[in-house]
Amino acid sequence: MRYEAPDSIEAAVSLLAGEAGKARILAGGTDLLVQLRLGHVEPDLVVDIKRIAATQSITEEAGGYRIGAAVSGAVLGEHDGVRALWPGVVEAVELIGSTQIQGRASIGGNLCNASPAADSVPALVAAGAVATIVGPDGRRDLPVEDVAGGPGKTVLAAAELVESILLPARPAGSGDAYLRFIPRTEMDIAVVGAGVNLTLDGAGKCSAARVALGAVAERVLLVEAAAAALIGTPVDDAALSRLAEAASAACRPIDDKRGTKDFRTRVAGVLAQRAARIALRRAGRG
């Protein structure tokens, strides 16, 4: 195995493109180093992207924030601007692992590791975040929900990498939230995760919503039917019940030691509804 730490995105892409064997990108390493140790991956080349400025910075853009793919959870959590604009995304990122893991774990890594249970991904999907991907053919933007293909798989081509993720601007009267169910209070993998992002108009009606679920399918799901249950309503109890039903209906989970299909399906509805109530509060209601 070779290790390279280029300081430009172009150099990273050409290293990846020029590698005849297997190449892996290294961000915080909290997934990759575990996989290396367990022998799940045996790369010929590891490209550390943390010396590339664009992967390490948080900048304002068009009223939103562009977050470098390798920015750690600890750094993101200390950013007052992002906390204020997208509290649901920050709370999801902060659920990842311990203080030690937060010191390294990135949203780019959480996304590209492509675990269906990745905590930040439902929150990013609900937020309508867009990944900027760089490869030999230049840059392209892809909605975050389209990055993962299935467990451990992304749609990125061999020499492509995520450079940054854009959290868009949002209208007044908006709120978002992420909740996960785990059997312990921390340091565990989500059995179900739910991210909700909504906007209320001046009359208190929901004018826009996005709902995303984690750990209930082979990848994180954007559940349009659940969002539709809120849009146009005053987000009252009836609408929240329909949201829960739609969220449960979208689940196609597996049975495993962490939870059965039935359990995951039920909990997805409950969590989506609770996350929506928190989002509602953050949008200024109640």
Ligand X SMILES: Cc1cc2nc3c(=O)[nH]c(=O)nc-3n(C[C@H](O)[C@H](O)[C@H](O)COP(=O)(O)OP(=O)(O)OC[C@H]3O[C@@H](n4cnc5c(N)ncnc54)[C@H](O)[C@@H]3O)c2cc1C
Interacting residue ranges for ligand X, rule: CB under 6 A: 24-32, 34, 49, 69, 95-97, 101, 104-106, 108-110, 112-113, 118-119, 156, 161-162
Q: Does 208 bind other proteins (CB under 8 A)?
A: no
Closer residue to ligand X in complex, CB, 24/170: 24
Q: Does 11 bind other proteins (CB under 8 A)?
A: no
The answer to whether the Cα torsion of 177, 181, 185, 186 is positive or negative is: negative
What is the C-alpha separation between 267 and 97, in angstroms, rounded?
22
What is the C-alpha separation between 101 and 31, in angstroms, rounded?
10
Residue 27 binds which entry of other proteins, ligand X, none, CB below 5-8 Å type-dependent: ligand X
Among 24, 66, 104, 264, binds other proteins (CB under 8 A): 104
Cβ of residue 40: shortest distance to other proteins, in angstroms? 12
Task: Give how far Cα 282 sits from Cα of 89, 132, 276, Å.
Answer: 13, 28, 10
Neighbours of 8 (CB within 10 A): 12
Closer residue to ligand X in complex, CB, 49/247: 49
Residues in region 34-53 near other proteins by CB under 8 A:
34, 36-38, 46, 48, 50
Task: Give how far Cα 208 sits from Cα of 31, 52, 112, 149, 232, Å.
Answer: 34, 36, 27, 26, 8
Among 29, 136, 152, 173, binds other proteins (CB under 8 A): 29
Residue 36 binds which entry of other proteins, ligand X, none, CB below 5-8 Å type-dependent: other proteins
- 264 Cβ neighbours under 8 A, 6+ residues apart: 191, 192, 215, 216, 251, 253
State which residue has the least CB distance to ligand X: 109
What is the C-alpha separation between 181 and 97, in angstroms, rounded?
14
Cβ of residue 190: shortest distance to ligand X, in angstroms? 7
List residues near other proteins by CB under 8 A.
1-3, 5, 26, 28-30, 33-34, 36-38, 46, 48, 50, 72, 74, 97-101, 103-104, 186-187
